[in-house]
Chain A
Amino acid sequence: MRTLSADVGGTFTDLVLIDDEAGKVHLDKVPSTPGRADGVLSGIGRIAASAGIAPGEIDIFVHGFTVGTNAFLTRNGARVAMAVTRGMRDVLEIGDQMRPHLYRLSQSRPEPVVPRSRVVEVAERRDAFGKVVEALTPEEAERVAQALAALEPEAVAVCLGFSFLDAGHEEMLQGAISRRLPGVPIYLSSRVNPQIEEYPRANTTAVAAYVGPVVDRYVATLDQALAGDGVNAPLRLMRSDGGVATPESARANPATMMLSGPAGGVIAGAAMAQELGVPDLVTFDMGGTSADFSVIAGSEPRMVTGRIVDGVPLRLPTLDIETISAGGGSIAHVDLGGALRVGPQSAGSEPGPACYGQGGREATVTDAAVVLGILDPGAFLGGEMALDADLACEAVMRNVAEPLGLSLEAAALGIVRVASAGMIQAIRKLSVERGLDIRDFALLAFGGAGPIYAPFMARDLAMAEVLVPANPGVYAAQGLLMSDIRHVAQAAFQRRFDKLEEADLDTRLGTLRGELDDALAHDGIASENRYFRHVADMRCSGQFHELAVALPEPGAPGWWRPQEVAAAFHAEHEKAYGHTDPDAPVEFVNLRVEAFGRTPKARVAADLGTGEGAPEPVGHRPVCLDAGEGFRNTAVYRRADLRPGHALAGPAVITQRDTTTVVLAGQNVTVAPNGVLRVRTAA
């Protein structure tokens, strides 16, 4: 079979076509066309042509895109109207009332996605136990529907107080609204995020409505154009939780795709963990403007139940990814007190780093790599784009070396070290929050810039090794092809273990699972390819922080053994916080079921050949990797020359079209059977 993925990034769209009949993997990169499908379409045309297949011969097409995310970040989403319980009108305006910056007297928060002029209050109320305090009357539902319709929305969000305990009022409103506004999508908070805390729930629901129509339009256009081009493979869309969705189920909650951008790399990382038998690793994807990190422990990507995006909370199951604005384009400058700062300002791709010669004058992280000899100005992107080393030197000299009284190479190394320090902090944050000891982890580096910086960072973090996959530049796109179809359903279930009825628990889990089973059937997944996971958010009764703990497979008589589950909770608690109170009663907060539909995956075992000892370098050039040593004539290897079994010692630079890998003095590289570079500190 032939499977195709296209992963749209800010600058490039990466494509991977796996053809297991021909035993070939094809890779390509085309410029992105933000918000439009033509970049993807031309890429598909190109990669199909180079593979010598007709578009109609593609069996599955997996697509990762950031249309929704961009619409949200740039506030170019749909016109949304929102209905909330009386007294909650300003829930999005007020947010958590915290100011983003402690010491700035003048600052701002991102605009709410629904302005207060389009929020309609509803006369209804439930109490904290889900009981009706004020009933929603049919007349009121009609009045609200009419008021919403008058706002001429493209989508409607509904968020009523305590609706996560009982969705009755929200569903009644939905009926009334859909009669007034046929065809307009309606998002209920009790579906999108049935969970306590009105602000994150309302915001998540509002964002779903805000990006829904935009994503819909994009997918519809793409679908049509694909059909026009003869591509009739089923379309799968990447989600933030690492699964894929059919367009139809993505429509039900478009917010689930909001953070899908970096997901492909994490999925590929989890597969790598299994393949190499390196179960614990940190993925590190660095491109031109940002760096993404995630933790894979026991070969499983870690999940979180929500994230802050652009200053506002989105509460949806998401891969646990930390993103910071550090990339090749990050600008270095010296502040008033004489400290070197790197970022958060970025030269982006326009004008880009000084060495691009497109008018950029600021010293960037990429310029530093050119100054140090790590990047070969004549071989960037396989030689398609010439870099100007003089401009890089000039910028680093002017912006950093002169103000700090440092040599040019010390300044450039300084930029690398300060940029790395920020990224190291992001890794520590991810791992420490989870109670993991990072020294046992490998650092899996990809993206255009990851393999340059990873060896520095791994050394400072005392991490076990750095892994560099065969095609770091399109690694995330490869990950898309490894994902299964995924659905998640959640319900609030606030019960102490010692006070709950087992039948009640069974019913709740059964209902959730039933919904998801139907959804998988609807996606066309045969029952033998469906599998489920049951998870619950739990906490010590009276405590605030919840932990997600896996539940045993429910259903069989006697499956619910509260003492064992409580013990598992306390073990997790001990791990995460360093202490637990085993006598404290445990309670459920939310129940969650995750459903997966296995999809067929094309696999090609590439013949990589074998090597032995050290390969022949293609040459040597002066490279500076250590301030004390200055420039050293350093061996340069071509990645294509490295075969499984080869081994080499640093310092060295390994070049390939889409990235450069740095090997520091004292580090050794071996090539794994699957072609992955393993960079380890020499014993």
Chain B
Amino acid sequence: MSDIDPISRDVFQHQVHGIAEEMSMALRRAAFSSIIWDMYDYSCGLFSPEGEMLSQAETIPAQLGIMSTAIRYMFAKIPRDQWKPGDIIVCNDPYQGCTHTPDVCLFSPVFHDGELIALTSTIAHHVDIGGKVPGSEGPDNMEVFAEGLILPPLKLIEEGRPNQAIFDILAANVRDPRGSAGDLRAQIAGCRTGERRLAELAGRYGNARFREMCNACLAYNETYMRRAIAALGDGRWEAEVFMEDDVTSKEPMRLHAVVTVAGEEITIDVSGSEPQRANGMNCPEASTLSMIHYAVKCVLAPDLPQNQGCDRPVHVVTKKGTLLDPIRPAAVSVRHITQQAMADVVLKALAPVAGNYAAAGCHTSFPSFVLGGFDTRPEMAQDDGSPPYFVIADIIGGGMGGAQGQDGMNAIDSHGGNCAILSAEVMETLSPVRVRRTALVPGSGGKGRFRGGLGIERDYELVAGNGILTGYCQQTRTDTAPWGLEGGEDGGLAALIRNPGTPKEASLGSKMVGILLHEGDVLRTRGAGGGGWGDPAERDPAHLERDRVEGYA
């Protein structure tokens, strides 16, 4: 590979990245569900035959980061020499390299001139994969078996021929079979786009040269990362953050990270974190790796186009049986809130040395709303007069942490996610849920010279019939609030409230599962604000005045 000049390599990297983006467009445009089309909860990546990511479409870091771990498991189950042209492998098993069960992962081999030259992968969050509650996610799940259908690595499509049994089993186990089938087809379209285009590219370069180019791109990111790590200087930093359980115990769950830099290598040891618990917040190994890599990239190379060369000088130590590397059959369906907290603890440890890339604690509150039931609005009646079944999901944002020179952004989905908020009009069109109010929460940004961003508050009203509700969030207490940095104050708290402002008002803590909502009930979810950066007394008077006039403070 020594004869590859940097220009040719950079052009190649552009080309591969373009293919990942094309996969993403193909997937999204063919998707059926609002969770993909409106909320962007899906991912696409391209991999070397060894399973190292070559490029990704930038959507959801939490999904993207697991793909390479999953490929390792796929190969363990279906050896590489059994992957044939036209195959598509499906898997969603959290204990075989995948994440939580609703994230259905597809993988496909790319052949050119009879040789395996690359792999594609798409992940889509299916709005439901069966299990105990609509949406399949339950903070109170005790085992992964409550979380719907588990698909081990299987050939969903074998040399171009669909394995109908898998489609039938899926359809029989999920609450929205039509949506799921449509989204799965969109994922397949994404994989096929990647295969076709990568084979074309290999055709232009020749297989040997193509491989060399891939290796050169990975090596480049590795070099970049090594230099950035070395620039931190040797040292050891540690931090802890606490998560709210509120299902098995009122005791919070501790996440702990020790970060060690030695020369050009960085090690993140999270083995001192809480032992696994009998709730749905355990975070499978692949998801842990993905968020640690995310946090390291934020601090060292946020602008570097991602490939897995970045991860080569990064070492992660976990301990089996902990929250961050649980033993089957621990439940994992809301592992995303743990992922957010894990990014948070690594960023907190690195904050003192992150320089311009440091920021105060971001909201990791993840206020989620999932409702399922029959849509009894008369206008929705099906041809036979019966009401259709619906499942609807929404995630609202909170504030980013303040940073030197910049207030935290208001109203964003943080770290591992980057989901859009569901349009109120779309939600009410698809389901008997009316959004009565969506608002910034004044004063929720932690005070500071640069204040934290504001959280969002949203009120959902069920306008017809009954529905089964799952809702959860984090950071509802002062000891778990987004942290201030350099003298900044903590961000405002998240909350779940039923029927706010009425005699029936009730705070629901941080978790609620399988609650029956009735017509006219309102659920309020609120995202936390970001932590502030720097001494609030040093805030620019012009910024203070603006906060007052615009009602941000």
Q: Which residues of A contact B (CB under 8 A)?
A: 86-91, 93-99, 101-109, 115-117, 127-129, 161-162, 196-199, 335-341, 404, 406, 410, 413-414, 417-418, 421-422, 424-425, 428-429, 432-433, 542-545, 576-579
Which residues of the other chain, A, contact B154 by a CB distance below 8 angstroms?
none
Which residues, 400 to 437 on B, are CB-close (under 8 Å) to A?
A: 400-401, 403-406, 409-414, 418-421, 423-426, 428-429, 434-437
12 residue pairs of the A-B complex, CB under 8 angstroms, read: A95-B411, A98-B418, A98-B419, A105-B298, A336-B224, A340-B6, A422-B14, A432-B26, A577-B26, A578-B193, A579-B30, A579-B189
Task: Say whether A98 contacts B31, CB under 8 Å.
Answer: no
Task: Say whether B7 contacts A410, CB under 8 Å.
Answer: yes
Compute how far the CA of A542 lies from the CA of B439 in the bound complex, rounded to whole angstroms.
29
Which residues of the other chain, A, contact B549 by a CB distance below 8 angstroms?
115, 117
Q: Using A105-B359, A116-B551 as known contacts, list a sample of 17 further A-B pairs with CB atoms less than 8 Å apart, ordered by residue number in A.
A: A87-B459, A88-B438, A94-B397, A97-B456, A104-B357, A105-B401, A106-B356, A127-B428, A129-B377, A196-B425, A196-B429, A335-B304, A337-B220, A337-B223, A338-B224, A341-B10, A417-B11
In the A-B complex, the 8 residue pairs with the smallest Cβ-Cβ separation, listed nearest first, are A337-B224, A87-B437, A414-B7, A106-B403, A544-B37, A105-B359, A103-B302, A421-B14
Compute how far the CA of A339 lies from the CA of B428 in the bound complex, rounded to whole angstroms.
48
B29 within 8 A of A: yes
B258 within 8 A of A: no
Which residues of the other chain, A, contact B437 by a CB distance below 8 angstroms?
86-88
Q: Given the interface contacts A128-B429, A425-B14, A579-B30, does A544 sit within 8 Å of B38 by beta carbon?
A: yes
Compute how far the CA of A543 lies from the CA of B304 in the bound complex, rounded to whole angstroms.
35
Residue on B with the closest CB to A432?
A: B22
B112 within 8 A of A: no
Set B6, B32, B379: member contacting A339, Cβ < 8 A: B6
Mask, B540-553, CB within 8 Å of A = 1, is 00000000011100
B5 within 8 A of A: yes
**In the complex, what's the smallest C-beta–C-beta distance from A614 to chain B, in angstroms?**
32
Which residues, 16 to 42 on B, are CB-close (under 8 Å) to A?
A: 17-18, 21-22, 25-26, 28-34, 36-38, 40
**In the complex, what's the smallest C-beta–C-beta distance from A110 to chain B, in angstroms?**
11
Q: Given the interface contacts A413-B7, A544-B31, does A108 sit within 8 Å of B409 by beta carbon?
A: yes
B440 within 8 A of A: yes
Q: Given the interface contacts A98-B412, A337-B227, A429-B21, does A577 sit within 8 Å of B425 by beta carbon?
A: no
Query: What total of A-B pairs shows CB separation below 8 Å?
Result: 221
Which residues of the other chain, A, contact B303 by a CB distance below 8 angstroms?
103-104
Which residues of the other chain, A, contact B21 by a CB distance below 8 angstroms?
425, 429
Instruction: Choose, from B177-185, B272-280, B322-330, the stretch at the interface.
Output: B177-185
B370 within 8 A of A: no
Q: Given the interface contacts A429-B21, A544-B34, does A105 sit within 8 Å of B362 by beta carbon?
A: yes
Which residues of the other chain, A, contact B435 by a CB distance below 8 angstroms?
87
Task: Say whether A337 contacts B221, CB under 8 Å.
Answer: yes
Q: Given the interface contacts A101-B302, A104-B298, A106-B405, does A127 sit within 8 Å of B551 by beta carbon?
A: no
B74 within 8 A of A: no
Task: Say whether A107 contacts B409, CB under 8 Å.
Answer: yes
Compute how far the CA of A99 lies from the CA of B410 in the bound complex, rounded to whole angstroms.
10
**In the complex, what's the smallest C-beta–C-beta distance from B469 to chain A, in angstroms?**
20
**In the complex, what's the smallest C-beta–C-beta distance from A653 to chain B, in angstroms?**
22
Task: Say whether A542 contacts B32, CB under 8 Å.
Answer: yes
Task: Say whether B424 contacts A161, CB under 8 Å.
Answer: yes
Which residues of the other chain, B, contact A578 by a CB distance below 8 angstroms?
26, 30, 189, 192-193
Compute how far the CA of A305 lies from the CA of B303 in the bound complex, rounded to whole angstroms.
31
Task: Say whether A421 contacts B439, CB under 8 Å.
Answer: no
Task: Say whether B439 contacts A97, CB under 8 Å.
Answer: no
Q: Given the interface contacts A97-B396, A339-B220, does A103 sit within 8 Å of B423 by beta carbon?
A: no
Task: Say whether A161 contacts B425, CB under 8 Å.
Answer: yes
Which residues, 312 to 344 on B, are CB-close (under 8 Å) to A?
A: none
**In the complex, what's the smallest C-beta–C-beta distance from B122 to chain A, in angstroms?**
14
Task: Say whether A545 contacts B31, CB under 8 Å.
Answer: yes
Q: Given the interface contacts A95-B411, A543-B32, A577-B26, does A429 sit within 8 Å of B18 by beta carbon?
A: yes
Task: Say whether B426 contacts A197, CB under 8 Å.
Answer: yes
Which residues of the other chain, A, contact B357 by a CB distance below 8 angstroms?
104-106
Q: Given the interface contacts A161-B424, A543-B182, does A94 sit within 8 Å of B29 by beta carbon?
A: no
B61 within 8 A of A: yes
Compute how far the CA of A89 lies from the CA of B411 in the bound complex, rounded to whole angstroms.
14
Q: Given the interface contacts A94-B421, A94-B456, does A428 sit within 8 Å of B33 by beta carbon?
A: no
B483 within 8 A of A: no
Q: Given the interface contacts A96-B420, A428-B22, does A103 sit within 8 Å of B298 by beta carbon?
A: yes
Compute how far the CA of A606 lies from the CA of B267 in the bound complex, rounded to whole angstroms.
72
Task: Say whether B220 contacts A98, CB under 8 Å.
Answer: no
Which residues of the other chain, B, contact A104 by a CB distance below 8 angstroms?
298, 302-303, 357
**In the complex, what's the smallest C-beta–C-beta distance from B49 to chain A, in angstroms?**
24
Which residues of the other chain, B, contact A88 by a CB distance below 8 angstroms?
424, 437-438
Set A98, A161, A198, A404: member contacting B6, Cβ < 8 A: A404
Set A129, A341, A429, A577: member contacting B379, Cβ < 8 A: A129
Which residues of the other chain, B, contact A87 by a CB distance below 8 angstroms?
435-439, 459
Which residues of the other chain, A, contact B223 by a CB distance below 8 angstroms?
337-338
Task: Say whether A340 contacts B61, CB under 8 Å.
Answer: no
Task: Say whether B298 contacts A339, CB under 8 Å.
Answer: no
Q: Given the interface contacts A105-B359, A545-B29, does A99 sit within 8 Å of B409 by beta carbon?
A: yes
B477 within 8 A of A: no
Mask, B495-520, CB within 8 Å of A = 1, is 00000000000000000000000000
Which residues of the other chain, A, contact B347 by a CB distance below 8 angstroms?
105
Task: Say whether A421 contacts B11, CB under 8 Å.
Answer: yes
Task: Say whether B428 contacts A93, CB under 8 Å.
Answer: no
Which residues of the other chain, A, contact B26 by a CB distance below 8 angstroms?
432, 577-578
Which residues, 196 to 251 on B, are CB-close (under 8 Å) to A?
A: 220-221, 223-225, 227-228
Residue on B with the closest CB to A335?
A: B224
Compute how far the CA of A86 lies from the CA of B179 in the bound complex, rounded to whole angstroms.
33
B146 within 8 A of A: no
Which residues of the other chain, B, contact A418 by a CB distance below 8 angstroms?
7, 10-11, 14
B463 within 8 A of A: yes
Compute how far the CA of A417 lies from the CA of B38 in the bound complex, rounded to whole angstroms.
36
Residue on B with the closest CB to A545?
A: B29
Set A196, A545, A579: member contacting B37, Cβ < 8 A: A545
**In the complex, what's the smallest C-beta–C-beta distance from B4 to chain A, in angstroms?**
12
Task: Say whether B421 contacts A198, CB under 8 Å.
Answer: no
Compute how far the CA of A116 lies from the CA of B550 in the bound complex, rounded to whole angstroms.
6
Mask, B149-168, CB within 8 Å of A = 1, is 00000000000000000000
Compute how far the CA of A99 lies from the CA of B415 in the bound complex, rounded to whole angstroms.
10
B124 within 8 A of A: no
Which residues of the other chain, B, contact A432 by a CB distance below 8 angstroms?
22, 25-26
